[in-house]
Structure 1
Amino acid sequence: MEQDINTTAPQNYKIAPEKVLPTQQFFAVEYPGNVINTEKALQTLGGQRGLKKAVNEDLLELRFRPNNPFCHPINGDIIPTANLLLKVTRRRKKVTYHHTRRDSDEESIKGFNFEIMGIISKTCRFRGMADYQHVPNPNDSIPRYRKALENFDINTIMDFESLLKDERDEDNLPPPSFSRIECPTGYGYRQNMAVVKVLVQKEGQAPALKLINRSQEPPPDAVKSAHQPSPESVARIKKLFAERPIWTRLALMNNLPACDRRTIKMQATIF
């Protein structure tokens, strides 16, 4: 039975060509936009220096307004990949004007050439959303001084001390970031399982919707007295705010003992 098995290849069998895989490694960036001007796209990524830093430190920021320091960046995720960089070259044939458009498209393509350039070992992807943007008033002191430095305005630069005395927007300080959440999450909104929807229709009236709560457990008792911080903790916090009216959460916790750090809540008050 072993003699009946034909181990020879058929006559029309065509052996695939063998290619040597290059060892050159590349760094790819999935740019979240239609790139028309390559130079401007590189400026939003920090230029060649920013890309070189991203390869070594795995950190890349995208700024749609690179010349604006108040523009919050989009953080890119650099992940290891094993993709191949393929170079496709299409050769076109000269088309005469008396041909139709369909015939021209068919005859203009002479052939395709494919070449593997190397391995993409790292890829930067932008999957997060941009943070809220804050554009300051161009008539404020700091934007005016920055514009004077760019334009070499000596008179405005010499008058910098008077610009610092402008206290109109002293309390309107933008935070370094507005939102801590970069990617949206599916919350999964749904009705409470203990609440049942019932349609009640009376004669001559439109049907009304009633929600019937069928909770199996009794409601909890009301809190008699809320927890209040100790007078010593309140005195220490008041003393710190008397020394300096504005504190960051981290600086305030570093100046308080461990017993008072639990009383600081993650809340903000808008004036």
Structure 2
Amino acid sequence: MDHEEPSGFKKQFICVEYPGVVVNEENMLRTLGGIHNISTAYLEKNRRLELRFRPDDVYSKPACGERQKKTSLLIKIKVKRRKRPLEPEQQSTLHDSKDNACASTCDPSIISSEVIIMGRIDTIFRFENLCDFQYLPMSLESNNKGPMQCIYDTLMPSGIPPASWLSLKANLFLPPAVFSRMDSMQTYLYRKEANEDNPNIPPNIIGRTRRRRSGHAVFVTFDISKIPDKPRDVAIKFLHLKFLGELHLKKISKLFAQRPIWSKNALMYHTKYTTDQLKFLLPAVAYYFVTGPWRVMWVRFGYDPRKDPSARKYQTLDYRLRTSGGLKTKVKAKRSYCNYLLPYKSSPTCRPKTAIISKEHLQSKEAKGKESENLNENMYVFRPGMLPPSRQMFYQYCDVYVPAIQEMMIKLPPPAPDAVCHERNGWLPQGMDAQCREIINKLVTDVLRKEIVNR
């Protein structure tokens, strides 16, 4: 038999555990930024709710409330009381009565009570973090004596100030750009670092630079003395931990045998592997150039492009779209800084999260294979008549199929026997990268103009 759900369960509320005594609801909402700010914090993922103790002060450091998932009910209780107190004889009669609904209550003045379920609560914002420091816009008098004075009006004028306001002497008030990185209690375990590189460092000194997070990939700079010839042992170990067998390794090793230098996007297109798989496969077969003519490229172990002039066709061509001609509105950027969010406004990603099984985790291998088939060639190749997928692209000269650029590469004279690979230009002449960017930019502009005309 189906039971009907109570009407109160259909309504959903948001609970805010306000860290204070609420006397005026309007003032309380102003400290939280109003209904609009509360709605924004609720709708956006990992957004924290800000509470400013001085909402009219732009220098007020907010306290942040964390979002928590809870299963609660909002209950309204109606209690009907007697207006006149009972006489002693009536109280004893009421206590002896078994039929009266309020006979078992402690308060004899209660006639009846009613419990009404207003709705359910799934999200609660709790202010359990530290309020951190508050930096007040205060200053001493001109003679540096006497009490502190508020200088907020001189810093933030109300309304539109006159032009003479710019010539006034400004008070010195420089609030810190960042207060503390953490606004909750943290447990930090101090540990000693290995002082093999610098034995003069005392053992109780904490290092200023942290190690790379990967730990299994080999990163090198252009001025490295010896090129690595084998992967690290931990890189091979990670392959077994991530269930990447010999077939995966053999496929990517075959590509590096055909071509010693690859970009990650090119390998993703040819192998149809995901970024997570390449994250562990690439350190097992190649090392990564951080600087130099082959930067952001993966090079086969044991191969030194600085000693091979034929490696110039694998050099990196850093192409960036220009802002003129409406190119910005046509091609999306990899990342946008327009909607930049201050770090304290979002919940930290390092917090423990509850594991949730979603449809993405239940996808079959066939579904994931179809996603990899949607990879387009333009993610690493440029041809005339196409637009780059992002505003900044790292091409290799051999993957730029433009007749003018390929003709320039063929006509390049071989370097002299005593030539040395340049740190920036590599084996190419100076200024060639700028010429190639001009050619690509002209082709992209022509494509954009044709699309505008055909509209």
Please report the TM-score for the alignment, with normalisation by the length of structure 1. 0.51
Query: Is 1:159 aligned to 2:145, yes or no?
Result: no
Q: Which residue of 2 aligns with 1:76?
A: 65
After superposition, the Cα gap between the structure-2 partners of 1:108 and 1:53, relative to the gap in structure 1 and judged at 3 Å, is same
* Cα deviation, residue 188, structure 1: 8.8
| Unaligned 5+ runs, structure 2 | 93-105, 140-148, 191-197, 202-289, 293-455
Root-mean-square deviation (Å): 3.8
Kept after mapping to 1: 8 A contact 2:137/2:151: no
**Structure 1 residue matching 2:57: 3-state secondary structure:** coil
Amino acid at match of 1:20: P
2: distance between equivalents of 1:183 and 1:67? Answer: 26
Equivalent AA in structure 1 for residue 55 of structure 2: P
Question: Is 2:103 aligned against 1:126?
Answer: no
The answer to whether structure 1 residue 55 and structure 2 residue 42 are counterparts is: yes
Deviation at 1:39, TM superposition (A): 1.7
Q: Would the alpha carbon gap of residues 46 and 98 (structure 1) be closer, same or farther in structure 2, given more than 3 Å must change?
A: farther
Q: Shift in Å at residue 176 of structure 1?
A: 3.4
CA distance 1:33–1:185, shift in 2 (3 Å): same
Partners of 1:160 and 1:67 in 2: how far apart? 21
| Structure 1 residues 97 and 144: CA distance shift in structure 2, 3 A | farther
TM-score (norm 2): 0.32
- 1:20 partnered with 2:6: yes
What's the counterpart of residue 158 of structure 2?
Answer: 149
1:117 pairs with 2:118: yes
For the Cα contact (< 8 Å) 1:95–1:107, is it kept in 2? no
Percent identity at matched positions?
32
Larger RCO (CA under 8 A, 6+ residues apart): 1
Q: Relative to total residues, which structure has the larger helix share, 1 or 2? A: 2
Structure 1 regions of 5+ residues with no counterpart?
Answer: 1-16, 190-220, 225-256, 260-271
Q: CA deviation at 1:94?
A: 0.2
Q: Which structure has more strand as a fraction of its residues?
A: 1
How many residue pairs align between the two structures?
A: 169
Q: Secondary structure at the match of 1:149?
A: coil
Q: Distance in 2 between matches of 1:36 and 1:97?
A: 34
| Contact 2:31/2:53 (<8 A) preserved | yes
Please list, as runs of the form range in 1=range in 2, the aligned pairs for 1:160-175 lying within 5 A after superposition: 160-163=165-168, 165-166=169-170, 169=172, 173-175=174-176
Residues 137 and 152 of structure 2 are in contact (CA less than 8 Å); yes or no, is this contact kept in structure 1? no
Residue 179 of structure 1 pairs with residue 189 of structure 2:
no
What is the match of residue 43 of structure 1? 30
1:4 aligned partner: none
Match of 1:31 among 18, 26, 29: 18
Cα distance in 2 for partners of 1:42, 1:141 equals: 26
- 1:199-230, CA deviations, whole angstroms, 9 ceiling, x for partnerless residues? xxxxxxxxxxxxxxxxxxxxxx9619xxxxxx
Distance 1:111 1:45 in 2: 38
